[in-house]
């Protein structure tokens, strides 16, 4: 279903979110105080507006309450981000998502009622560190309680061998799926033969996953 989103601030982060939402088939209104930023994206988003997102009368004209979610992607200017968030909440914007850059910024956004708060640089830093430390891990989701879902690329030594050769202990590590390009095989049978470029999607505790993937 096509949704409508608004993005306040079209810097690197706001722009990538806005473009991806368009690619996913949604409508996106992009707002930036900088004329060049707004104009650069005019042909790529549904609509762009040159406006100060801290100006409540400018925001009011955008009827933001009809959008499914509004992202505040103004980072460096914390004051502007806070003011914009405050106005969006008083204008009853449905879902207000905020990019925060410091713990204080996070706390204020939370107090103002932001529905979701991101720390893209910090979160990306953790991701990069994880993939540097575990180079065959392509992606992961932290589920909490030290449990993770990870996507790993096994070594070529496993090619054309049944996945039962992996000797997975299901008490510790679960094989959820095998990804091959865009196709996904859920819970493959033990006789499934691993192919070149297959990726394993595994669930387990960090220590068990680390032990298991070190053998791959
Ligand atoms: P990013 O980290 O996303 O690359 P940046 O570091 O380039 O961003 P920021 O200061 O976080 O820049 O601002 C992001 C965008 O928000 C910029 O394009 C900036 O012009 C815009 N912006 C800043 N203040 C406002 C405001 N009051 N109203 C609307 N847009 C704003």
- pLDDT over 70 percentage in the chain: 100
The residues facing 71 across adjacent strands are: 7, 97
- CATH number (domain holding residue 112): 3.40.50.720
Helix orientation angle between 103-111 and 78-90, rounded to the nearest 10 degrees: 10
Give the Å distance between the CA of 194 and the centre of ligand 1.
46
pLDDT in tens, 23-74: 999 999 999 999 999 999 999 999 999 999 999 999 999 999 999 999 999 9
Pocket of ligand 1 from Cβ distances under 6 Å: 8-14, 31-34, 37, 52-54, 73-77, 80
**CA-CA-CA-CA torsion sign (188, 192, 197, 199):** positive
CA distance 20 to 66: 20
Which residue, by CA, sits nearest to atom 8 of ligand 1? Answer: 11
In this structure, the answer to whether residues 90 and 130 fall within a common structural domain is no
129: tokens are 């560190």
Nearest-atom number in ligand 1 for the CA of 53 is 28
- CATH number (domain holding residue 139): 3.30.70.1450
Mean pLDDT of 132-146: 90
CB 85 within 8 A of CB 112: yes
Q: Which of 107, 87, 109 lies closest to 97 in space, CA to CA?
A: 109
Average pLDDT, the chain: 93
Domain end, chosen from 118, 147, 166, is at: 118
Which residue, by CA, sits nearest to atom 5 of ligand 1? Answer: 11
In this structure, the answer to whether residues 26 and 80 fall within a common structural domain is yes
> What is the reported pTM?
0.82
Residue numbers of the domain that contains 74: 4-118
pLDDT in tens, 140-183: 999 999 999 999 998 777 788 887 887 888 889 999 999 998 89
Nearest-atom number in ligand 1 for the CA of 37 is 18
Among 6, 29, 30, 32, residue to substitute to test ligand 1 (most atoms within 8 Å of Cβ): 32
**Strands of 137-144's sheet in order across:** 137-144, 147-152, 198-205, 173-180, 183-186
């Amino acid at each position: 279903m096509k949704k409508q989103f608004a993005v306040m601030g079209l810097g690197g982060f706001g722009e990538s979110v806005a473009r991806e939402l368009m690619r996913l088939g949604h409508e996106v209104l992009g707002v930036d105080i900088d004329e060049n930023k707004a104009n650069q994206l005019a042909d790529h988003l549904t609509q762009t507006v040159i406006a100060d997102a801290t100006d409540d009368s400018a925001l009011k004209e955008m009827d933001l309450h009809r959008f499914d979610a509004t992202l505040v992607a103004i980072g460096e200017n914390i004051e502007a981000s806070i003011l914009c968030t405050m106005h969006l909440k008083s204008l009853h914007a449905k879902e207000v998502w905020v990019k925060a850059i410091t713990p204080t910024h996070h706390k204020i956004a939370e107090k103002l009622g932001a529905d979701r708060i991101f720390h893209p640089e910090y979160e990306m830093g953790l991701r990069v560190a994880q993939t540097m430390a575990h180079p065959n891990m392509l992606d992961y989701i932290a589920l909490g309680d030290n449990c993770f879902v990870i996507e790993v690329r096994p070594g070529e030594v496993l090619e054309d061998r049944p996945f039962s050769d992996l000797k997975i202990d299901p008490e510790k590590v679960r094989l959820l799926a095998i990804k091959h390009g865009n196709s996904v095989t859920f819970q493959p049978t033990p006789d499934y033969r691993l192919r070149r470029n297959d990726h394993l999607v595994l669930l387990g505790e960090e220590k068990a996953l680390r032990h298991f993937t070190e053998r791959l």
